[in-house]
Structure formats: C-alpha cells, structure tokens
Structure 1
Amino acid sequence: MKINRVRYLRGPNYFNYRPMIWIELDLEELEFQPSSKIPGFADKLLEILPGLAKHTCSRGYEGGFAERLREGTWMGHILEHMAIELQIMAGIDVKHGKTITGGEKGIYYVTYEYKEQKSGFLAFELAMDIAGKILKSGKAAPDISGSVATLGTAYYENKLGPSTEAIYEAALAMKIPAERVRKDSLLRLGTGSKQKWVQATITSETPFLAVENSCDKQATKDILQSCGLPVPKGEAVTELSGIFKASKSIGYPLVVKPLSGRQGQGVITNIMNRDELFNVVNCLDKHVKDYIVEKYYEGNDYRLLVVGKKLAAASMRIPPFIIGNGQDSIRKLIAIENTNPLRGEGHEKPMTKIPLNYTVSCFLEKFDLSLDSIPEKGQVVQVVGNANLSTGGQAIDVTEEVHPEVAEIAVNAAMAVGLDVAGIDFISKDISKPFDPANSVIIEVNAAPGIRMHHYPSKGKSRNAGKAIVEHLFNSRGEAAIPVIAVTGTNGKTTTTRLIKHLLEGPGKTIGMTNSDGVYIGNRCIDEGDCSGPISARKVLANPAVDLAVLETARGGMLREGLAFRHCDAAVVTNVDEDHLGLDGIDTFGQLVKLKRLITEVVIDEGHSILNADDPEVAKMAEYTKGQVIFTSLNEKNEHIQQSITNGNPAWFLNDDGWIIHAEIGGELVRFLPAAEIPVTIEGSARHNIANLLQALAAAKSQGAELEILKEKSLTFIPDFRYSKGRFNILEIKGRNVIVDYAHNIAGLQAVFGTVAALKKNRLLTVLSAPGDRLDSDIMEMGKISASQTDLFVIKEDSDLRGRKPLEAAFLLEKAALHYIQREKIHIVPEELEAFRKAWELSVPGDTLLLLYEEFTKVKEFIAATDSKTSIDR
C-alpha cells in the first residue's frame, strides 16, 4: 500500500460538515485481497481493536462493520475504520468516515474525521503499520498500546489548550466563526470588521495594563486595598532574609509565594512558626528573587470566575492529598494517584497529575516529611501547599452557593484591576454566607484564568464558561460575522460575483471579493490569479476592513479544503453542467450536484438561497437549504416562479416583454428595468448574462439593497475590462470586433456563441483551447460547437496540460472540427499569444475575432501590441 495524496478538509465538505482527512490510497497488490481472503485477519483485527465490533458502518447498526470485515471488504475501507477507532482509543472524539472506490484499479479515496491535523494523519499511518504487522505476524496479534499512547501524546501536544478549546467550541455552537491562528492558542472570533481575538482567556477587550497589574501581585493588592476591598496583610521582599523580617511584623501563620508566580507554582501556605519557615526558606527556588509574605487565612479556597462584570462560575479548590497505607512512601502514593484516569499531563484531563518537584518537597519539609516518608495507614497527607489545578488540585462546583455579596466583591475586584475576564482567588470559611471581613479575603486576581475546572469539575455541575466569554464579546452571530455571499456553479460564477459586489457597494462599506482573477478589498486587488478557493476566501474573511464578503466558490477549492466558512448568509447557484468529471472521486453528475449543493446546505436559518429555476438540478437544491429560497428564471412561466408568486415568496424573472420583474414578498410584481437597457446583457442578446444579473439582483436585495439603488447600479455595470475583465468584453480594433471571454466548457461555449451570433456581421474567427482534465468526449463536443459556428478556427494549447500529452487535446478539437469546416480553415498554433496573432493576421476589417483565453496576461499583451489606444489596466 502507498499514500499518493493527503488533503485536510478544514471546513464543511463533500463528505461532512466537520473537518475530514482525505487520502488517495493505492492498495497495490492488496487490491486483489479482500479481508475474507486473508486467513485470520478479521479475528486478529477485532482482537486488538475490539471497539471496531461496535462500528455500524453503512449498514446502520452496531456490528455492521464486523460483518463486512468477515464477508470481505477492501483495505482502504478497513483503514478508515481503524483510523477512527485508534483516535477514539486515544481519547479523541471522532466517528465519521467514508471510503470511495477510485476510477483506477487499486485507487481508493479514504476520508475520516479528525480533531487535530498531526494526530489525525498519524492515526492513518499507525493503522497502516498495524495492518501490515497483522498481515506479516502469522498467529500473534501485535501490541498496540504504544501506538495509542503515541497518538494521544501527539493530539494533546498539538490541540488547543482546554480554556481556548472551550471558547472555540462555544463559538461554533453559537454559529460564530472561530479560527485558530498559528499553532498556539490564539483564536480569531468573528470575521472582517467585526472580528475579535482570544488567547487562552485573554480577549481583545482585555486592557494590557490590567494584565500587567494582575501579574504583579503587590500591585494587585495595592489596587484592591485602595478600593477598600479585602486583601491579606503582607509585604513584598527582595531577599530571603527579608522573609524572616516580614514574618515578625505580620505574625504567624504565613504564606510565602513568588511576587510574579503563576499557576500556584512555588506557593507555600500555613507556615505555623519560625522552624517551619526556616525549613521552607531553605528549599525555595534560588532563582526566584522577589517574594510576597502574607498572613495566612483559615478557610476554603475558592476560584470565582468573573466575565464581563458578572459572576460566571465558582469552584471550591481542594489541595492534592494522598492517604497512607502504612507500606508505601509518599512518592509512590503520588505515583499511584497519578494513574487515576481523570489525571493527565498539563491540561489534557479534568485533573492534572500531582507534581514530584521542589514545591512538593518544600511543602512536606515544614512537616518534617519528605517524598520518602511512609505515612501511617489512613493518614491523610496534603502534598502541595495550594489548591491550583495546575499543581494537582481538585475543583468542586459551588456556583449556585455563592452569596450575592461575595459575587459583588468578586466583580468589583475584577473591575478595579481592569480585567474583563478574571479569576478571583478568595478565601472564606463559607462562601454561601454574607461577606465577613474577619475571615474572608481576596488573595489574587488572575488574568487569563483557566476555565477547565468549571467545565470539568471533580464534583458538581459543569459550567459553560467558554460560552460566557463568547457572549461577553458578542450578543449574537450578527455582531460577530460579516455577511457572506457564496457563489458557485459551472458557468457564470465570476460575472455574478462581480455584479453582486457592484450592486452592494456604497459609501462607508468595504466589500471583499474573491473570483477567478483575484482577491479584492474594496477596489484594491491584493492578489491575482484564480482566487476562487478557500485560501483566498480566508484572506477576505480575515481582513479587518471588510464589511461584507462575496466569494466565488469553485469546485476545486471545495474538494481541496472544504469551504472557508461554516455558514453563509446567502448562497447563489448559477447552474450545474457535466464538467470536471472523473477527478478526485467526483465521477458522476449526481456527485457534482451534491458538491455544488454544499453552499446551500450551510446557509443560516435567516439567510437566503438564490437558485436558478431554469436548471432542474439547481431547483432541487431548495429541498436541502434552511434559508429562504429565491428562484430566478428567464421564463416567467417557469413552474417554480409561478409557485413562488402564488405562495407570496420573492422571485426574479424575465417576462415575455423583455422586462426584469421582481416578485416581492406577498406576491406583488414590480417592473424593474427592460433587460436590453442594462449594459451587461449586450442589448438583451447575452441571455446567460441576464441570468447572472437576475441572481445578483436577488442576492443584493436579500441583503437589504433598495430597488432604486439597484436600478442605478445595474445601469452602471459596463461589461468592460474595468468591471467585468475577461467576461465577454467587446473591443473595436482597426475595423474588427474583438470579443474576449473565458468560456472553457460545453455550456459556456454554447452561451458565448449564442450571443456572438446576434452580433457578428461578417466572418467569425475563433481561438480556442480545451482544458486537459476534460473527458475526450467533452473536448470533441467543444470542437464541434466551435467549428459549427465559426469560419476560421485557430486551435491553441493550454500551458497546463493537466495530464495530457502535448497537442493531445488540440488534435481532439481538430478531429471534431473537421466534420464542420475544411482543414485549410483550421490552424493549430500551440502558444496562446501566437494563436491570437495568427487569428489577427487572418482577419480583415469587418470580421469578428472571438478570443477564448487561458491566461489573461496574453490578452493584455495582444491588445497592447495591436491597439495602443486601448488600456486594460483600468
């Protein structure tokens, strides 16, 4: 077996709305060995991965996969299930997968869900390794415990931290865009001009000075004390000798902690006398120079989470302890406790493993104990001087027990320091009672407080602190996400996208756009080339200047990475024709329709799906969207248009008199403009552009655009190189009409030649190439369409052959063309610019030249050399 290609489908995709890994797998010799023909394979696999027995597979019931395994299934399918099960065993919550047979023998497209990229792919590599060992091992089943441990380590090392992950999941649940930036725990919440940032639990609303103050424990105390908030008596010292001096003025019991410490590291509590203090000082970290010495308060240790001036959650924290058995040392008892499945490294589990470091040794020292001491049976030994989860403590939810006075003090403390999200460490004998200054005190105010304890308490109710933080930043999805209009289809995507942008542009509004020739922020092009994929879309969605995004969403990008957005406000589907079949597992027209349908499936409930009712497959997409459907049609008698009018739903269509009509909500019909008066329709002859315009009008109106503004905008969209570069641009050069277009498939050519027929006066000279990734039959059909409409045919070749041999596609075009025109009227000129020049040499005044380009730069070069008066860069 070998892996040919790997893709990470980060957004909603053909297979699932969740992130999926796509792998092109070549089974090689295993193509001829289904599992039923490999002796003992099924039994061994189920022995080492018993969870596979519960997989339902396509049969829909538990045990379905095991049945298929014994009946006989292929290794690609088996590896899919193994990769899922290995992730589950490593503690990763996944379940979805699908394997598709490729067009070539032995090729399979394996897809399965993943949570984190590195561990997701590692699961497949481990599955291949395990399967290989089973095939070679004879009767013995391999030990996979090491593989599972390796996978779990990779996952927890690379995933988001628990606090950031909680915020991320909460945002997605609220349909608020959330994207991890870089490898650390940095999140962009929202899009465009509405975006905000979160790292751990520090937000873009958190003042820098507040974080600085909270990191300086003495500064925090001074601020709180100045506001009359309760803090322990204490002093900051800069030398170890100062600790003893401070102890005299403060009095025992004491707490000693680093001035700038975090996560409870180096904190020693309840020091009862000078002898204990002496033991503590002797084992303090010598690298720490500055300490705080404070009065120790007897009581419970609470963490109060304040978010946006509200108490969001509260936990009582219990320091880590062990219970003696009279035989084992404290060191061994800690090791035993650390095998508790609820404990893990760092923040991966609800509780952290108890450390075996100087902090534990130092704390035990004050009781004349060490890690090698053996406690008596039943003796409870606290092993760390604080209750932080990071040092092995436990948390019990007490949110509903907090007295209002205590909650008010916690909120005031966060406000005093200036934090919008704060963890208030509070000592009190009973937090359910009114505040008592004699035995209650604030010991710390923390920026970036961990919220794991609130989501996964050792006891008590889980609190969705992540959601509280997201709701603090945004009241709704509308406050977080700029409107997104996605446009897909086989033909007309670019023109429709450009039209929508033009119709919606206005003072004070910056529109971001991606299409097949670039990425635009307002009128500024920030990237050139085919930018109709998710990488380009994310540039627009991440740009803080953008107020609305119009995104051309092509087939290739959806297959490579999925969508760049999880939800959109409007989806526009122009049409679906048989194009690009036989690529990446999309072999049938039905599969292509399903792929294009994806953008309608992710429309928000309040959104809109604008569907071309003249295309039966597009019209059927109405069944799959949650948004309001707006049909468009070139035929007022179209059944979907008539049904929309009857039901009082909006629609846009062309009536028999050539007027564009808007059916408003409620059924009223409003005459918009005669289609022939709108420049992009080429005096009404470009019916494909009328169809594009109808959809653009529907999309713009769905976003609140007024009809009078839309009329004005429609009349100012000129199909020239400024507004509609490369899409049926017409130039008059030295007595010849030169038409430039990008039609590169059967339906596109039919639309273009239909418009050209209404315009040409004398001969038509066509320059055309065929993309190499089309089927032979499609290329020949393109040749027939072109040759049947043209007088002279110049055949060129794309610079990207897409797997074809040189001139292979050109000869197919020629072969088809010979059925319609004589050989002497066909010229094969491979290089695009030279082909344009050849057509010009063959033309005479009065002729029409149709230049169907691959690279627009070649069009620019040709026109610059032929007509210096015409400027494309406008």
Structure 2
Amino acid sequence: MKMHRVRYLKGPNYFSYKPTMWIELDLEELEFSPSNELPGFTEALLGTIPSLKDHTCSLGYPGGFVERLEKGTWMGHILEHMALELQYLAGIKVRRGKTLTSNKKGIYYVTYDCRESKSGLYAFEAAKDIVEKILTGAKSVDAGPYIEKIEDLYYTNKLGPSTEAIYNAAFAKQIPVERVGKDSLLRLGTGSKQKFVQATITSQTSFMAVENSCDKQMTKTLLAGAGIPVPEGETASSAEEVFEAADRVGFPLVIKPLNGNQGRGVYTNIKSREELFNIIHCMDTPENNFIVERYYEGHDYRLLVVDGELIAASMRLAPFVIGNGQDSIKALIEKENKNPLRGDGHEKPMSKIPINAIVSCHLEKSGLTLDSIPEPGKIVQVVGNANLSTGGQAIDVTDEVHPTIRDVAVTAAKAIGLDVAGVDFICPDISAQLDRKKATIVEVNAAPGIRMHHYPAKGKPRDVGKAIVDYLFKTREDASIPIISVTGTNGKTTTTRMIKHFLERDGYTVGMTNSDGVYVGNETIDEGDCSGPISARKILSNPNVHAAVLETARGGILREGLAFRQCDVGIVTNVSEDHLGLEGIEDFGQLVKLKRLIPEVVMENGHCILNADDPEVVQMAEHTRGKVIFTSLFYTNHHIREAAEKGWTVWFLDEDNWISCIEDGNPKRLLPARDIPVTIEGKARHNISNLLQALAAAHSQGVPFEVLKEKALTFSPNSEQSKGRFNTYEVEGRKIIVDYAHNIAGLNAFFDTVRHFKTGSAITVISSPGDRQDHEIREMAKIAIRNSDRLIIREDEDLRGRGPYETANMMHAAALKEKGYSGKQISIIPQELKAYQEAWNLSAEGDTLLFLYEKHSVVNEFFSLVSGRKNVVARKII
C-alpha cells in the first residue's frame, strides 16, 4: 500500500464541517484481496484492537464493522476505522470517517475526523503499519506504543487547556477564531473587528499593567496605595539581605523571586533561620532579587476577575502523596504522575508533580527526602505552594466567596490595571467577611491560567473562557465583518468584482479575492489565481477590511476546506461539468455537493443567493439556513413567482428587459439592462445573470436602490474594472475581444455574446486546461471551430499533468473532425504570445480577434508590441 497524497482539511469541507484528514491511498495488490480473503486477518486485527468490535459502520449497530470484515471489505475502509479508533484510544474524541472509491483501479480516498493534524496523520500511518505486520504473519500487534505516540503528538501540538477553553467558547458563540502560528496566540473576529488573545492576555490588556503585575514589589505598592491588604515584606538581593529582612519581618515567612511566575521558587511557612538557611542554599532559581514577607495562615485561593467581575474562585491544594509503607516519596510521585489527568506543562487539566530541588528543599523542612518511605495513610505535602503548574489541585469555591472578598479582588485587578487577572488570596475562610488582619492578597497575575476553573478536582466547572470571549465581543456581529462567498462554475470573478464595487464607499474598505488576485480597497496585495482559502485568510486577517468578498473555487475547498466557518451571504452562480475526475470529485453529483457547501455554511440570519435558472442550484435552497434569494433571466421562471408569493426577495429580468426586484411583495425596477455597461448593450446574458446576483448581495447588506443604480452604471467590462472578462478593444481597424472562458459553459456564453459584435472574419486563439477530461477538451475545440473562421490552438504554460502538445493535438484533431468545418484553417502555435501575434498577422481591417488567455500579462505584452507602447489603452471599449 502507498499513500500518494495527504491533506489536512482545516475548515468546512466536502466531507464534514469539522477538521478532516484526507489521504489518497493506493492499495496496489491488496485491491484484489478483500478482508474475507485474507486468512486470519480479522482475528488478528480484533486481537490487536478489540474495541473495533463496537464500531457500527454503515450498518448502524455495534458489531456492524466486524460483519463487514467477515463478509469482505477493502483495506482503505479498514484503515479508516483503525485511524479513528487509535485516536479514540489516545483520548481524542473523534467519530466520523468515510472512504470513497476512485474510478482508478486500486485508488481510494480515505477521510476521517482529527483534532490535530500531526496526531491525525500518524494515526493512519500507525494503522497502516499494524496492518502490514499482520499481513506478514503477526497473530497480533501491541497497539500500545502507537497509541502513546498519538497521545504525545496530540498534546504536544494542540492548544493548552486555557487557550483551548477560549477557543471553544468563541466557537460555541459563532465568533470566528483561529490559531495563529504554533503557540497559544488566537485571533478572534475578522478584518477590522479582530482581536487577539495569547494565553489569557488579550489585545485589550495594558502592557504597563502586565509589567506591574510581573514586578511583585510594584504590585504590593500599588495595592497598598489603594488600601488593599498585602503582606508586610521587603526586597533583598543577596543571602545576607534575605536574613536581615527576615529578622525585621519575623518568622514564619515566605520567600519568592521578585519577578517570578507560576509559583516557581516560592517557599512558604519558613519557621526559623535554620530552615531559611537550608532553602537559600538549595534554591534552584537564577533570580537574584527576592521578596521576603510575612506568612499568613489560611487557605490559598485564586480569584479570577474578568472586566471588573469575579468569574471564578478556587481553593488551591499543594501537591501531596499518600504513603503506603512500601514506596518512597519519589516512587509515589512517579505513580501519581501517571494519572491520565496529569501532563507536562499545561497540556492537561493538571500538571505533573516535579521531582527536583524545590521538592527536596520542601521535604527537608520536615526532615524527609525523596527516598523516605512514608507510613501507610500518611499525607505528605511535597511542594510548598499550591500552584497548578507545580502539580497542585483546585477545588471550586465560586459560590462561597463573601461579597467583601469579591469586591477586594475586583478592586485589586483594577488597581493593577488588568482586564483579566488572577488574584492570589490567603484567608482562613473565603465565605466569611474580609478580616484585614488575617487575610491578604499576595499576588495579582497577568495571563492567569484558567484550567483550574474549567477542570477542578472537585466542585462545579466555571466557563472562564466564555467570560473572556463575552468581554471581548458581546455578539457575533461585533466580531465578524460581513463575509460574502461566491462559488459556481462560471461567473464567479465578475460577480465578486461587481459586489466589491457596489459595497465600496468612503471610509468602508472592501477586501476581495478572485482568480486574478487579492485586493484591499484599491490596492493589489497579491496576483494570480487567488480563489482559495490561503488568499481568503489574507483578507479576513487584514485589519483595514470592513467587508470580505471571496471567490470560492472548488480547488481550494478540496485542498484545505473553507477559510471561514460561516458566511453572511453565499452565492452559487451555476453548476456544470467541469474539473471532473480530479481530487476525488469524479461525477456531476459530487461536484454539485461540493458547490452546495457554500449554501450550507450561510449563517441563520444570512442570505443565500441562488440562480433559479439552474435546476441543480435551485435544489440547494433545501440545504441552507439562510434566507433564500432567487435570481433569474426570465420573469416567467416559476421559482421566481413562487418565491415572490411567499414574500421572499427575488431579482430578475422583467418582460421589458429591466433589472427588477420584488421585496416584501413590493415590485421595484432598477434600470433597463441595456443601459448597464457590464451587460454589453444587454447582449451578454451571462453577465446579466451575474449582475442580478451581485445586486441581490449588495442590497442584502443594506446598499439602497439609488446607490445601486449609480454603482451599476459605473461598472464597465474594461481592463480596469473587469480585467479579462469580455474586454473589447479597437486597434488599427481590428476588433480584439479578450476573455478567460476556459470551460464548455463559459465558452458557449462567450461566443453567444460575440455573435452580436463580430465583424469580418473571426480568428480565435484558444487552449484548454490540461486537467479537463478528454471529452471536455474535444468539445471546447468543436465549439471554437464552429464560431471561428480561423483557429489557432496554443498551449498553457501549466500543462496540469498533460504531456507537451497532448492537449493541443487533441483539440486539433477534434476541430478537424467537426462536420462541416474541416476546410477551415486550423493551426497549433504553442507559445501564447506567438499565437496572438500570428492571429494579428493573419487578420485584416474589419476582422475580429478572439483571445482566450492563460496569462493576462501576455495579452498586455501583445498590445505593447502591436501598438509600440506599453499598457495600451483601448481605443474603443464596447
């Protein structure tokens, strides 16, 4: 078996709205060996992973997968189930998988859920390795090491509990959220509305407040100045100064680094100079500046404040072990660290208890060492502080906090200037009124960990992540700029360009992606085919953008999924056979389902704009939560009439060829179609269809009718506003029409418009993308020769998997065989520029040259050569 291609579909995709692993698998010789023809295979597999017996598979009941194995199923399907189960056994809750059979013999497309890409991919590699061992004679395989590695990869690469809690809260609130980079930085929101969170520091957090909280002495100074109880203490920068400070403060006391965090280097309840001497000489910290302060008897509490409100409170317990009379303290710690809830650092709800000098120092205070063996039942505290990062536990006490203590915690956070703060509080009883002689605030922390509140050892979990998200964004509308996604087979680029033009106004920047580039307002920030998710993210993450208009092509969806989880407006222009046989989309029904993804992700209060003249697109109305707006070139279209009767909004071309709309039962007329430049005197029917959808999209976003009229009259099919889409030039008596039509439907629409404007002989320069099916390539050649007097076939620079001249020769042969056109001049000139030059040389005044380009820059180069100057401006634009 071989894995040819692997993809991690991060966003909503053809298979699922969740992150999905996609693998192209070649079974090779196993294509001829289903599971029931492999002696002993099923028994060995179930012996290796017994829990596969519970899989329901497509049969829908436990044991269904085993039935499939016994009756015979193929290895792609088996690996899918194994990859899911191995992840599940590693503690990753995944369920969905699907394996598709390709038209190519032995090729399968295996898809399954995963939460994180590296662990998700390794799960498949592990499944493949296990199967190969079984096939070479192993009666069973130890799956344990594979599961451990999956777990390790998952927790190493996933978000930590605190950041994940914020991510999940944003996700639940439908706030756009994504991880930026490999660490804990999150972007919440899009465009001009975006904000950031790193750990629990937000983009609203004051830098000065963070600096003040990191300086423990400054924290005490600010708190004391606000009348908040803090422990008496002094700073010291040497061992001698520590002892001098201890004498003045008095025992018992606490010593900690001046700029420490997460409880590192904190020693509490030091009762004598002897204990202090031992601690100083075994301290494992590079910090030379310390705080020596009074020790307060009582419980250690963490009070979590967000935006001036107490959200959660936990009582923290220092890490401990319970003796059994046999194991050393070190061995007992090692046993506790195997608790699945404990992990390295912050990866799991609790951290592992350290085995280091800090523990040794603390044990020395009680006359113990790591090698001591406690008697049965004896509780041994092994670290002096209760921080979770040093192995502590937390018990939720939020509902017990006395109002006076709540108020002092909120005041402390405000005094430091923190929007999100962890207030460390010592007192005998959190439910009793504040006693300033017995209670104190010892620290106010920026970037407080919140996993203790989400995963308490005892008590009610508190959703601090939600509180932080609610503080940053009251509603989804506060977080997300409008996202308008345009998909379909043809017309996507023209539609996106018009929508951008219609939405733009002073002080309102529209970002756009399409097959020509990425645009922010009037600035081009990238060029080329930019209709995929990488380009979309450039717009969604740009802080200057107030609205995003995104051309969403099939290729990007299949490579990575969508760049957004929901859109405000989803548009489907049409669906026709195109790019079939690629990336697992091998029939028309699959293509329709792929395009239907956009209507599916339209948000509940959004708008789904569908071409009512395309029967496949009409049916997508059943798969959206948005408000459906139908558009049509025909006022007699029964979908338009029925929708209008229901009170839906519809846009259409009326009996007088006016662009019209019915909204809330009220008919409105915009303009005569022929007066709108993009319709090319009303002859470009495909452009009228695109115009209707663009108008519907802009109007759904609040653009008034009068503004739409003005905008429609100022959008022209020229190289400035609609580059490469039926751009018409007059050069030395010749008419040159430049277009990007590159599939059957697009080519038919192009020539349908050309016939209204063609003069003299028509000389067409054309190619076909190599990733089209053979019959599509031949049909494009037939369409071209039917509508041309001379045909020049060129080659794309990107052959898309074809050999040199393969596509050109196929088109040449098809054109020659087309009945009634074999006598026409047909030639192959592979280079794009030379093909245009030959068309020019063959032409005479009055002729029409039709350039169907691959690279618009080559068209510009041709005009430069012909006119003798660069950046030629058309002498006449129709």
Assess same fold via TM > 0.5.
yes
Letter in 1 for 2:98: K
Provide the residue aligned with 1:408 in structure 2.
407
Pairing of 1:317-466 with structure 2 (within 5 A): 317-466=316-465
Equivalent residue, structure 2, for 1:228: 227
Please tell me the residue identity of whatever aligns with 1:459: K
SS of equivalent to 2:729: strand
Change in Cα spacing, 1:216 to 1:872, as seen in structure 2 (3 Å) is farther
What does residue 313 of structure 1 align with? 312
Q: CA deviation at 1:285?
A: 2.5
1:271 equivalent in structure 2: 270
Using the TM superposition, give the Cα deviation of residue 520 of structure 1 relative to its aligned residue in structure 2, in angstroms. 0.4
Distance 1:97 1:620 in 2: 26
Moved over 4 A (4+): none
**Distance in structure 1 (CA, Å) of the matches to 2:92 and 2:603:** 28
Any conservation in 2 of the 1:276–1:367 contact (CA below 8 Å)? no
Whether the aligned pair in 1 keeps the contact of 2:305 and 2:421 (CA below 8 Å) is yes
Paired with 1:671 and 1:836, the residues of 2 have a C-alpha distance of: 43
Counterpart mapping for 1:469-548 below 5 A? 469-548=468-547
Distance of 1:873 and 1:469 partners within structure 2 = 55
Deviation at 1:857, TM superposition (A): 1.3
Letter in 2 for 1:847: D
Query: Which stretch of structure 1 is more off in the superposition, 739-748 or 156-165?
Result: 156-165
Q: What secondary structure is seen at the aligned counterpart in 2 of 1:725?
A: coil
Q: CA deviation at 1:36?
A: 1.1
Match status 1:205 vs 2:222: no
**Matched residue of 1:306: which SS?**
strand
User: 1:560-639 maps to which residues of 2 (within 5 A)?
Assistant: 560-639=559-638
Q: Given residue 551 of structure 2, which amino acid in structure 1 is its aligned partner?
A: E
Shift of 1:77: 1.2
SS of the residue aligned with 1:317?
strand
Q: Secondary structure at the match of 2:596?
A: helix
* SS of residue paired to 1:827: strand
**Native 8 Å contact 1:794 1:835 kept in 2:** yes
Question: Which amino acid counterpart does residue 388 of structure 2 have in structure 1?
Answer: L
On the 8 A contact 2:44/2:138 being kept in 1, the answer is: no
Instruction: Work out the CA distance in 2 between the residues paired with 1:695 and 1:377.
Output: 77
- Aligned residue for 1:468, secondary structure, equals helix
> How far apart, CA to CA, are the structure 2 residues paired with 1:827 and 1:336?
79
Amino acid at match of 2:841: E
Displacement of 1:869 in angstroms is 6.6
Matched residue SS, 1:466? helix
Any conservation in 2 of the 1:36–1:69 contact (CA below 8 Å)? yes
Q: 1:758 to 1:283 in 2, by over 3 A?
A: same
Where do 1:78-93 residues align within 5 Å?
78-93=78-93
Contact 2:861 2:870 in 1 (8 A): no
SS state at 2:16 partner: coil
Q: CA deviation at 1:680?
A: 0.3
Matched, 1:151 2:140: no
In structure 1, the residue matched to 2:69 is 69
- Report what 2:776 is aligned to: 778
CA distance in 2 between partners of 1:842 and 1:794 (Å): 11
User: Please, what is the CA RMSD of the aligned residues?
Assistant: 1.4
Give the corresponding residue for 1:288.
287
> Match of 2:118, SS?
helix
Q: Is the 8 A contact 1:520 1:527 kept in 2?
A: yes
Q: Give the conservation status (yes or no) of the 8 Å contact 2:789–2:824.
A: no
**In terms of mean alpha carbon deviation, does 459-468 or 722-731 score higher?**
459-468
* C-alpha distance 442-434 of structure 1, shift in aligned 2 (>3 A): same
CA contact under 8 A between 2:491 and 2:573: conserved in structure 1?
yes
Contact 1:721 1:872 survives alignment (8 Å):
no
How far off its partner does 1:273 sit?
Answer: 2.3
User: For 1:739 and 1:673, how far apart are their aligned partners in 2?
Assistant: 26
Single out whichever of 226-235 and 50-59 deviates more from structure 2. Answer: 50-59
Aligned position for 2:36:
36
> 1:655: which partner in 2?
654
1:22 matched residue in structure 2: 22
TM-score for the superposition, normalised by structure 1: 0.98
1:861 equivalent to 2:867? Answer no
Range with bigger deviation, 823-832 or 398-407: 823-832
Query: Which of 651, 670, 673 is equivalent to 2:668?
Result: 670
**Alignment CA distance shift 1:873-1:97 (3 Å):** farther
Kept after mapping to 2: 8 A contact 1:28/1:106? yes
Cross-structure match for 1:118: 118
Q: Distance in 1 between matches of 2:743 and 2:348?
A: 54
Counterpart AA for 1:246: A
Q: Contact 2:195–2:202 (CA<8 Å) still a contact in 1?
A: yes
Contact 1:178 1:189 in 2 (8 A): yes
Whole-angstrom distance in 1 between the partners of 2:869 and 2:756: 27
2:394 and 2:137 mapped to 1: Cα distance?
A: 47
What secondary structure does 2:3 align onto? strand
Q: Structure 1, residues 53-81: CA drift from partner, whole Å, max 9, x if none? A: 22222222222222212211111111111
Q: Which residue of 2 aligns with 1:725?
A: 723
Give the superposition deviation at 1:824. Answer: 4.7
TM-score, normalized by length of structure 2? 0.98
Residue 96 (structure 1) aligns with: 96
Change in CA separation of 1:873 and 1:370 when aligned onto 2, cut-off 3 Å: farther
Deviates more, 1:573-582 or 1:644-653: 644-653
74-83 or 278-287: which moved more? 278-287
The gaps in structure 1 that reach 5 residues or longer are none
Query: CA deviation digits over 1:738-764, x for unaligned, max 9?
Result: 100000111111101111111113221
Task: Determine the C-alpha separation between the residues in 1 that align with 2:321 and 2:717.
Answer: 78
Render the CA deviation track for 1:265-287: whole Å, top value 9, x for unaligned: 11111112233223322322363
Name the CA distance, whole Å, in 1 between partners of 2:717 and 2:871. Answer: 14
For the pair 1:796 / 2:794, whether they are aligned, the reply is: yes
| Partner residue, 2:826 | 826
**Partner Cα distance (2:553, 2:249) in 1:** 71
SS of equivalent residue, structure 2 residue 256: strand
Q: Deviations over 1:616-673 (max 9, x none)?
A: 0001111011010000000011111101211111110001111011111x21000110
Alpha-carbon offset, residue 349 of structure 1: 2.4
Do 1:722 and 1:872's aligned partners in 2 also have CA atoms closer than 8 Å?
Answer: no
Aligned counterpart, 1:852: 852
The one-letter code of the counterpart of 2:672 is P
Superposed CA offset, 1:342-371 (max 9, x none): 222222322222111111111111111111
Q: Distance in 2 between matches of 1:135 and 1:757?
A: 64
For 2:337 and 2:858, how far apart are their aligned partners in 1?
A: 68
Bigger shift: 699-708 or 161-170? 161-170
Aligned-pair CA distance for 1:812 = 2.4
Partner SS state of residue 45, structure 2 = helix
Relative to structure 1, is the Cα distance of residues 873 and 229 closer, same or farther in structure 2, using a 3 angstrom cutoff? farther
How far apart are 1:336 and its partner, in Å? 2.3
User: Which amino acid in structure 1 is aligned with residue 235 of structure 2?
Assistant: A
The answer as to whether partners of 2:163 and 2:200 remain within 8 angstroms in 1 is yes
- Quick check: 450-459 or 786-795, which moved more? 786-795
The answer to whether the Cα contact below 8 Å between 1:836 and 1:851 also exists between their aligned partners in 2 is: yes
Which SS does the other structure have where 2:512 is aligned?
A: strand
Moved more, 644-653 or 274-283: 274-283
| Whole-angstrom distance in 1 between the partners of 2:20 and 2:79 | 14
Q: Given the superposition, is the C-alpha separation of residues 439 and 402 from structure 1 closer, same or farther in structure 2, using an over 3 Å criterion?
A: same
Q: Which residue of 1 aligns with 2:133?
A: 133
Q: Distance in 1 between matches of 2:676 and 2:502?
A: 13
2:838 matched to 1:838? yes
- Report the residue type matching 2:867 in the other structure: D
Partner Cα separation in structure 2 for residue 862 and residue 610 of structure 1: 39
Shift of 1:868: 4.3
Equivalent position to 1:767, from 753, 756, 765: 765
Verify: 1:682 aligned to 2:684, yes or no: no
Change in Cα spacing, 1:813 to 1:639, as seen in structure 2 (3 Å) is same
Decide which moves more: 310-319 or 377-386: 377-386
The residue aligned with 1:696 is 694
Question: SS of the counterpart of 2:165?
Answer: helix
1:108 matched residue in structure 2? 108
Q: Deviation at 1:499?
A: 0.4
Q: Percent identity?
A: 63
